[in-house]
Amino acid sequence: MWPPIFNLYQDGGHYGTHSDAALMRLPEANLTIRSDLSATIFLSDPDEYDGGELVIEQQYGAQPVKLAAGDMVLYPSSSLHQVMPVTRGQRICAITWMQSAVADASARELLFDLDQSIQSLTPDRPHDDPEIDRLIHVYHNLLRRWATL
């Protein structure tokens, strides 16, 4: 994970459409990470500023995001995104990037979907349910296959 940086937009400040750098070097830590996931943590409440939406281009169109202070949005670093102009007040956020042990985005999505299904099924099943155990087995073997460390 990259150390977070902070940004402040005001008086029409914005950041144009871009995707984040694929590789990020932190020389003082002798560290290079592949940016798989980007995170924006909103530090200003949405009623403190106008504009300033983080707009993330997704498969089905643009998704504007403007969350409460303390909330975070996580999105693929490879996606096109931008910060719209702030027309009133100040938009303060922290941003960071993460490298996943699973480099392939579609494999990460499959693992996420499988894990979400396991999590939603587990509360309604006995602790030693063999079908849940089988799904967990599949999840970990897929992770073992796709992860690189």
Q: What is the CATH number of domain 105-146?
A: 4.10.860.20
Domain 5-98 has CATH 3.40.50.960: no
For the chain, the structural domain boundaries read 5-98, 105-146
**pLDDT 10s digits, 70-115:** 999 999 999 999 999 999 999 999 999 999 999 999 999 999 999 9
- Both tokens of residue 118? 């396991």
Q: pTM (2 decimals)? A: 0.84
DSSP tag of 117: H
**pLDDT 10s digits, 27-80:** 998 999 999 999 999 999 999 999 999 999 988 899 999 999 999 999 999 999
